[in-house]
């Protein structure tokens, strides 16, 4: 291979730029050229390409977001769009593609692979919800952003002896809520993977109040229910006034954490290696501290499983 392309797709995640940088530098290390594709699959279809030299990825390792932009492009499900994308790449002499994104992006990559164009996926999403890899790029940063926000909220909660519900991201996967709950010392955590027990949450609130610990933090993943809805339910049952904070989009941004940058560096380099060794339709990931590659289909058809031992521990520590 002489030339490969790289794009970012789906929701942006901190560390995507570090991954782009690693792809470019590892490829250059092997004498391979790298073309950046702007605006994800839409840019692939429209031929929105630019050659990335070492200078083009200078000073981006620490930046949130993605220098290559990201976009939704539902049309890409259709064959003609995919074929056009492949044609565009072949015209430029591009022989392989690295796709950085979530499982929606992996599907697009798999379809290109099936039409004969070698693709490798890098897991870039704050939700940590991709099967086959223990961590995704962006998760650790999002987690630190969440606990930093909860530390701030706790200042107010403690000073006013209030109960707060903090709604965090996570539709199907509760990893952010789960880890943040343990890291921030939340009194209760609600995740999509586990049935919540309203009576237990209420008992916990009342137990705290009884031993004069009058403030309380409850974390709820957006996939369980909106924070405001939970507040209303709890207020009706307990008569306690409850405040709500929806963390929202701040969870996606910010300079990537050390872990995310190192992970991005390792996965970016591995993706290039896989392509150069002839791999196609592969995803890269981390398992037991080792960087691995496996089938893209396994990644988006499989299920990421949250570590529910953290859920149990969280409960034990918030007696």
**Span 141-160, contacts to a copy of itself by CB under 8 A:** 143-149, 151-156, 158-160
Q: Which residues have a Cβ under 8 Å from the Cβ of 268 and sit 6 or more positions away?
A: 18, 19, 20, 21, 22, 23, 26, 98, 122
Question: Is residue 79 a known part of a binding site?
Answer: no
Residues known to be catalytic: 127
Q: Is 201 in the site for a copy of itself (CB under 8 A)?
A: no
- Considering only residues 164 to 183 of the shown chain, the ones binding a copy of itself according to CB under 8 A are 164, 179-180, 182-183
86-114: buried (b, 16+ CB within 10 Å) or exposed (e) per residue?
bebbeeeebbbbbbbbbbbbbbbbbbbbe
> Which of 63, 282 has the CB closer to a copy of itself?
63
d(C-alpha 273, C-alpha 114), whole Å = 20
Q: What is the DSSP letter of 124?
A: B
What mask of x and - would describe binding to a copy of itself in positions 206 to 235, judged by CB under 8 A?
Answer: -----xxx----------------------
Find the shortest distance in angstroms from Cβ 90 to a copy of itself. 28
Spell out, one character per residue from 15 to 54, where the chain touches a copy of itself: x when CB under 8 A holds, - when not.
Answer: -x----xx--xx-xx------------------------x
User: Of 88 and 257, which has the nearer Cβ to a copy of itself?
Assistant: 257
Q: Is 72 annotated as a binding residue?
A: yes
Interface positions, 98-127, toward a copy of itself (CB under 8 A): none
Question: In the complex with a copy of itself, which residue's Cβ is closer, 116 or 241?
Answer: 241
C-beta separation of 124 from 263 below 8 A: no
């Amino acid at each position: 291979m002489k030339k490969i392309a790289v794009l970012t797709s789906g929701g942006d995640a901190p560390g995507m730029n570090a991954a782009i940088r690693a792809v470019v530098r590892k490829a250059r290390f092997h004498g391979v050229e790298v073309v950046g594709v702007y605006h994800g699959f839409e840019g692939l279809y429209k031929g929105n390409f630019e050659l990335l030299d070492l200078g083009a990825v200078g000073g981006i390792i620490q930046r949130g977001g993605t220098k290559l932009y990201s976009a939704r492009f539902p049309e890409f499900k259709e064959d003609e769009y995919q074929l056009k994308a492949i044609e565009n790449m072949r015209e430029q002499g591009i022989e392989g593609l690295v796709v950085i994104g979530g499982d929606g992006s992996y599907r697009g990559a798999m379809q290109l692979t099936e039409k004969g164009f070698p693709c490798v996926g890098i897991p870039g999403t704050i939700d940590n919800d991709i099967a086959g890899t223990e961590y995704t790029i962006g998760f650790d940063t999002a987690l630190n952003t969440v606990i930093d926000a909860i530390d701030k909220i706790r200042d107010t909660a403690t000073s006013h002896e209030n109960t707060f519900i903090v709604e965090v991201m996570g539709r199907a996967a509760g990893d952010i809520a789960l880890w943040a709950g343990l890291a921030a010392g939340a009194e209760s955590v609600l995740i999509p993977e586990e049935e919540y027990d309203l009576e237990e949450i209420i008992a916990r609130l009342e137990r705290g109040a009884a031993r004069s610990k009058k403030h309380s933090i409850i974390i709820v993943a957006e996939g369980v229910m909106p924070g405001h809805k939970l507040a209303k339910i709890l207020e009706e049952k307990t008569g306690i006034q409850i405040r709500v904070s929806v963390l929202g989009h701040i969870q996606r941004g910010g300079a990537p954490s050390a872990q995310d940058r190192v992970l991005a560096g390792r996965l970016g380099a591995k993706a290039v290696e896989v392509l150069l060794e002839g791999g196609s339709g592969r995803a890269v990931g981390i398992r037991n501290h080792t960087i691995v590659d496996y089938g893209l289909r396994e990644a988006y058809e499989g299920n990421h499983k949250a570590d529910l031992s953290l859920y149990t521990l969280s409960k034990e520590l918030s007696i």
